[in-house]
Structure 1
Amino acid sequence: MNSNSPIKGRGAQQNVPNRFFELTHEMRDDFLEFCRIEGEEADKNTTQYLEVFPKTIVNKIESPDIGMTYSMNMYQGCEHGCIYCYARNSHEYWGYSAGLDFERRILVKKQAPQLLESFIKRKTWQAQTIVMSGNTDCYQPAEKEFEITRKCLEVFLKYKHPVGIITKNALILRDLDVLKALAEEHLVAVNVSITSLSEETRRVLEPRTTTIKRRLETVKTLSEHGIPVNVMLAPIIPSINSHEILPLAKTAAEHGALSIAHTVVRLNGAIGEIFTDWIRKTMPDRADKVLHQIESCHGGSLNDSRFGTRIHGEGHIARQINDLMKLARHKYFKDREMPRLNTSLHETYKDGQLKLF
């Protein structure tokens, strides 16, 4: 056993230092060798659920190039373990690492439904779509145990308030009854993330996510029940899934999606180090090529925080990706579009029932 042994079922292969901490923790080879000799586990690789008590749950998005204005997250950290996830950096604000901690220390907000209800009942609040999973997946494995997302959906339904959902987990189908009720009044839209049609690619990029087959079945089932679905081809990573744009778009359309969207991968903050370490261990033969191509999409850096260019990138490779997306929309989604959600009902239901006078 050594520090280069792959950590099964995880995306990140290390805990990078938290930028807000002066001290760091290192797993040394001599300690690992001692554990091997003694027959002890150096790292049990288990997931911990830790309850936290925030005062608010709905966040306003100030970024001009994000397609949402308000978001909420029932969980911080995500057991899905997607290696590229931009949300990893947020775990540092909670005192954890953006690496393995992000996947194994899941912060649970059990009071989210009550906080949401208080927020949307405010007299000054005028209904706008609130997106669940603006940061971490609301249907990650923790949801199976805590059912916080379902309870929040019931709040949205009670107050006839529009809600958006972003997920890559088929667990969303558990709540089909609530989603159908919301959809009947044009109060819900779902974004399903599908980054590849290859299970091999899915397993290394997103180790604890739903299989591609189940995700496509999820798109089809939601669509068949009148729930509008947008498929997120995100992120597109050069030389890993960039060649799949047209097949992905075609398959999404065949399963009933009304639209597609994409981002070009960017590796801000600690994610650059985490991703670089991961790809050198999992894809050593193409690591340099992939890293250089990502840099070429972001002005020569893995990190890109520039509004206007950070989402879709720049340069020759980014242009190819963006042109393929335009072609895919023209070819497979020409006469389709996501509907606008209904913001007109909420005001008359602010007290939880229809106001007659």
Structure 2
Amino acid sequence: MPALNIKARGVASNESGRFERFATEACDDGWEMEEELPQLRTEVREEVARSVVTYNRSPDLPFDRSINPYRGCEHGCVYCFARPTHAYLGLSPGLDFETRLIARPNAAEVLRKELSSARYKVATIAMGTNTDPYQPIEKHHQITRACLQVLQEFQHPVAIVTKGAMIERDLDILAPMAQLGLVRVGISLTTLDPGLSRRMEPRAPSPVRRLATIRRLTDAGVSVRVMTSPLIPGLTDHELESMLEAGQDAGADSATWIMLRLPREVSELWQSWLHQHEPARAEKVMSKLREMHGGRDYDPRWGHRMRGEGEYAGLVAKRFKLAVKRLGLATKTPPLRCDLFSRPAQAGDQLTLF
């Protein structure tokens, strides 16, 4: 039976989502003929968005609203905590998450309507909180850019998280917004080892390329924080200080860290990847994670899910604190400006007298 023909994908599994009643399984057709399945390609479907600003009440997040132009992510990061969301679409958190993507082409139009509402109250909007707004399909669809154009028009603050070097394309929007204190960017750096990066996050830019992106953004006046996330115990944790130093050398002025999170299906996908790519370290990695989560692979409680608890988690926190102090990296940054927000005049609006 031929195996799935996957190239540069994060996982090898495509098991059905947790809400599906039935599962599919490849089987031998009995012909005993050698054959090779076609390479698994990325498919993009379009979704008509009814709303784009999503609100949350999570006490451990520094924002209460976000925009996600895409569902699924072609970067294929094996550890991505957002993989389980694909199950809500009737798709697999495995290969479907990185190959069967959803684009929302009318997102900017809907965003304009939502910001124009008299009931809307301004606060920083986050982009890239679930899937990367600068994943490869953005080159063609340009939904992220269209949303940024709307935010610039309204002088609305935005915080962006990405691994994608394509963000450099939008410096013509981001640089003027940065001068007004309306934008901040976080670049995720998971390892400085290009080989490990390619295996964990096969279609994301290399570590060197991400550092170059930090430099390009900061040279243009855009404030950047280096995000050592996720930090993986027993695999990348020894790189913490090196990654912070590399980010600071590239121009980052602040830093954050988050421990590896394994919600729902991500745990099984991650462990399968570990045994395939890092078998000698698999037991140590999972042992450390369980130590931080009360014996479980993951603890979803607010206040615990991002960092874990216990001796090891405390040690990492101390290392981070000492490193950022030595490097002069901030852990808290000034809030983005909300006082500049204004609704542009629309067709049919009554003109002001003065």
Partner of 1:347: helix, strand, or coil? coil
Rounded to whole Å, the distance in 1 between the matches of 2:199 and 2:353 is: 55
Rounded to whole Å, the distance in 2 between the matches of 1:253 and 1:149 is: 27
Q: Deviations over 1:308-339 (max 9, x none)?
A: 11111112221121111111111112578633
Rounded to whole Å, the distance in 1 between the matches of 2:311 and 2:162 is: 30
1:17 deviation in Å?
2.5
Which residue type is aligned with residue 12 of structure 1? V
282-291 or 247-256, which deviates more: 282-291
In 2, are the aligned partners of 1:65 and 1:308 still within 8 Å (CA)?
yes
Is the counterpart of residue 344 in structure 1 residue 339 in structure 2? yes
Counterpart position of 1:138 = 133
Which residue type is aligned with residue 192 of structure 1? I
Structure 2 gap segments, 5+ residues each: none
User: Which 4+ runs in 1 deviate beyond 6 A?
Assistant: 352-356
- For 1:8-27, list aligned pairs within 5 A: 8-27=7-26
Q: Deviations over 1:287-306 (max 9, x none)?
A: 12211111111111112111
Aligned residue pair count = 352
In 1, are the aligned partners of 2:75 and 2:202 still within 8 Å (CA)?
yes
Structure 1 gap segments, 5+ residues each: none
Counterpart position of 2:49 = 54
1:175 deviation in Å?
0.7
Partner of 2:45: helix, strand, or coil? strand
Q: Deviations over 1:178-228 (max 9, x none)?
A: 111211211111011011111011111111001111110110111111101
Specify whether residues 63 and 337 from structure 1 end up closer, same or farther in structure 2 by C-alpha distance, changes over 3 A only. Answer: closer
Specify whether residues 194 and 334 from structure 1 end up closer, same or farther in structure 2 by C-alpha distance, changes over 3 A only. Answer: closer
Partner of 2:75: helix, strand, or coil? coil
Specify whether residues 126 and 328 from structure 1 end up closer, same or farther in structure 2 by C-alpha distance, changes over 3 A only. Answer: same
Q: TM-score normalised to the size of structure 1?
A: 0.93
Which residue type is aligned with residue 33 of structure 2? I
Counterpart position of 2:186 = 191
Counterpart position of 2:218 = 223
Partner of 2:33: helix, strand, or coil? helix
Rounded to whole Å, the distance in 1 between the matches of 2:103 and 2:122 is: 26
Counterpart position of 2:207 = 212
Rounded to whole Å, the distance in 2 between the matches of 1:95 and 1:80 is: 20
In 2, are the aligned partners of 1:6 and 1:13 still within 8 Å (CA)?
no
Specify whether residues 313 and 226 from structure 1 end up closer, same or farther in structure 2 by C-alpha distance, changes over 3 A only. Answer: same
In 2, are the aligned partners of 1:157 and 1:182 still within 8 Å (CA)?
yes
1:2 deviation in Å?
5.6
In 2, are the aligned partners of 1:18 and 1:92 still within 8 Å (CA)?
yes
Rounded to whole Å, the distance in 2 between the matches of 1:241 and 1:174 is: 30
Specify whether residues 334 and 259 from structure 1 end up closer, same or farther in structure 2 by C-alpha distance, changes over 3 A only. Answer: closer
Counterpart position of 1:202 = 197
Q: CA RMSD in A?
A: 2.1
- Out of 150, 159, 180, the position equivalent to 1:155 is 150
Identity %: 37
Partner of 1:288: helix, strand, or coil? helix
